[in-house]
C-alpha cells in the first residue's frame, strides 16, 4: 500500500525541540525495556516488550530522519513519523508548561520562566504547522 | 525458513541460561541509554548513544533469531549469531561458576550442588562445541 507523504519543514530551533522530545521518549522507552528485561520470568513474556520496543523504534526512526546532531533545517514525513512526532512534542510541551508554572512561583525564576515560555511558543508553533500538514 | 544447516541447535539443558543472558544484553544497553538520556547535555552528544544502540541491536538481533519466547525444549539460532551466542555462553558460565562457589560457601546440600555443577558442565561442554564451530569457519 502506498502512503501519501505529508512533509513538514522544520527550522533549526524546531528541529532541536523535536530532537530533544524524541531523545526523551527514546530514554523512556529504553527505561521500560530495561525494567521488563530485569523482571523474573521475562523469558516467557515477550508481550512485555512489544509495545516498548515499538515505541523505541518509532522515536529512533524519527531521530534518524531529523538527524541526531546537526542543527539544520530538516524535512520530515509525518505520514511515517507522525505518531512519534506528536507523542514526543506533547510530552515536552507538558514539561515546559510545568516549568513555566513552577518558575512563576519561585523567587528569581524569571530567566527559567522566559526560557520555558520561549520553548512553549516554539513547540506550539511546530505542532500547529504539523496539524496543518496533516489536514486538521 | 532456515534449514538445519543454517542454524545452531541449543540443547534444552542450556536454553534458559542463553535466554537469561540474551535479555541481560538488552537490559544493560537500555539502562545505559536511560542514563545517557537523563544527562542535560545529551542532545549535544548523540555520539554517546552509538555504543549502547549497537549493543541493543546486537542483543535484539540475537533474540529475533532465537525467538523472544522461551521454548519448552531445544532452541536454535541462525549460524550468523554465533559470536553473540559465544558471548552469552561465556557470561552464563561466569554466573553459574559464581553461583556454585557461593553455594558451596553457604553450605548448600549435596543434591543442589550436584545439579548446579551438572548445569555448569553442560554449559562448558556446549561452549566448547561453539568455539570449535567458530574455529572451523
* Tens-place pLDDT, residues B68-91: 999 999 999 999 999 999 999 999
Look at B37 and A23 and tell me if their CB atoms are within 8 Å: yes
Taking CB atoms and an 8 Å limit, are A37 and B43 in contact across chains? no
Q: Does B70 touch chain A (CB under 8 A)?
A: yes
Q: Is the pLDDT of residue A103 over 60?
A: yes
Distance from CA of A105 to the nearest CA of B (A): 23
Mean pLDDT across chain B, nearest whole number? 92
Mean pLDDT computed over B105-114: 91
Residue A2: pLDDT band by 50, 70, 90 thresholds?
A: low
Partner B contacted by A42 (CB < 8 A): yes
pLDDT(B3) > 70: no
Average pLDDT over residues B96-119: 93
Tell me the sheet residues that pair with B47: none
The pTM score is 0.85
**Cβ-Cβ contacts under 8 Å, B56 against chain A:** 30
Indicate whether A12 pLDDT > 80.
yes
pLDDT in tens, A38-66: 999 999 999 999 999 999 999 999 999 99
Do residues A81 and A10 lie in contact, with contact meaning Cβ atoms separated by under 8 Å? Answer: no
**In Å, how far are A10, A86, A100, A130, B116 from A115, measured between CA atoms?**
20, 21, 8, 23, 59
State whether residue B33 sits within 8 Å of chain A by CB.
yes
Taking CB atoms and an 8 Å limit, are B69 and A68 in contact across chains? no
B52 pLDDT above the threshold of 80: yes
- What percent of chain A stands above pLDDT 70? 98
Nearest-CA distance B136 → chain A (Å): 31
For B52, the closest chain A residue by CA position comes to A30
Q: Please state the rounded mean pLDDT for residues A13-33.
A: 93
Closest chain A CA to residue B40: A20
The 10 Å CB-count burial string (b at 16+, else e) for B96-108 is beeebeeeeeeeb
**Pairing of the two strands A74-77 and A7-10:** antiparallel
Q: What is the pLDDT of residue A22?
A: 93
Q: Do A43 and B60 touch (CB under 8 A)?
A: no
Q: What are phi and psi of A46, to 5 degrees?
A: -60, -25
The residues near B109 (Cβ < 8 Å, ≥ 6 apart) are none
Q: B30 and A33 in contact by Cβ < 8 A?
A: yes
DSSP chain B: ---GGGEEEE-HHHHHHHHHHHHHHHHHHHHHHHHHHTSTTGGG-GGGGHHHHHHHHHHHHHHHHH-SSPPSS-EEEEGGGHHHHHHHHHHHHHHHHHHHHHHHHTT--HHHHHHHHHHHHHHHHHHHHHHHHHHH-
Q: Is A39 on the interface with B (CB under 8 A)?
A: no
C-alpha cell at B38: 537523563
pLDDT at B126 over 90: yes
HSE (CB half, 13 Å, CA atoms) of A12? 4
Quote ipTM for the complex.
0.87
Question: Which among B23, B53, B56 has CB closest to A42?
Answer: B23
For B8-35, write each residue's pLDDT tens digit.
999 999 999 999 999 999 999 999 999 9
Residue of A17, A21, A30 for testing the chain B interface, max B β-carbons within 10 Å: A30
Q: In which residue are the cell numbers 509495545 written?
A: A51
Amino acid at each position: 500500500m502506498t502512503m501519501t507523504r505529508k512533509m513538514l519543514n522544520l527550522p533549526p530551533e524546531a528541529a532541536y525541540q523535536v530532537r530533544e522530545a524524541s531523545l526523551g521518549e527514546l530514554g523512556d522507552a529504553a527505561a521500560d525495556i530495561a525494567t521488563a528485561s530485569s523482571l523474573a520470568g521475562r523469558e516467557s513474556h515477550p508481550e512485555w516488550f512489544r509495545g516498548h520496543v515499538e515505541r523505541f523504534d518509532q522515536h529512533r526512526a524519527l531521530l534518524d530522519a531529523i538527524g541526531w546532531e546537526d542543527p539544520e533545517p530538516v524535512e520530515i514525513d509525518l505520514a511515517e513519523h507522525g505518531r512519534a512526532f506528536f507523542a514526543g512534542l506533547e510530552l515536552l510541551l507538558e514539561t515546559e508548561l510545568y516549568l513555566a508554572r513552577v518558575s512563576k512561583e519561585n523567587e528569581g525564576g524569571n530567566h527559567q520562566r522566559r526560557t520555558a515560555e520561549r520553548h512553549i511558543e516554539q513547540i506550539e508553533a511546530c505542532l500547529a504547522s504539523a496539524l496543518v500538514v496533516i489536514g486538521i | 525458513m532456515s534449514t538445519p544447516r543454517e542454524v545452531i541447535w541449543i540443547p534444552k539443558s542450556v536454553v534458559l541460561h542463553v535466554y537469561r543472558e540474551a535479555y541481560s544484553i538488552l537490559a544493560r544497553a537500555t539502562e545505559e541509554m536511560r542514563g545517557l538520556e537523563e544527562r542535560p547535555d545529551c542532545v549535544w552528544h548523540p555520539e554517546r548513544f552509538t555504543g549502547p544502540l549497537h549493543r541493543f541491536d546486537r542483543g535484539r538481533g540475537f533474540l529475533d533469531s532465537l525467538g523472544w519466547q522461551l521454548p519448552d525444549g531445544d532452541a536454535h539460532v541462525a549460524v550468523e549469531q554465533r559470536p553473540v551466542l559465544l558471548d552469552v555462553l561465556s557470561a552464563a558460565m561466569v554466573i553459574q561458576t559464581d553461583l556454585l562457589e557461593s553455594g558451596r560457601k553457604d553450605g548448600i546440600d549435596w543434591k543442589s550442588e550436584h545439579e548446579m555443577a551438572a548445569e555448569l558442565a553442560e554449559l562448558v561442554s556446549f561452549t566448547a562445541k561453539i568455539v570449535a564451530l567458530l574455529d572451523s569457519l
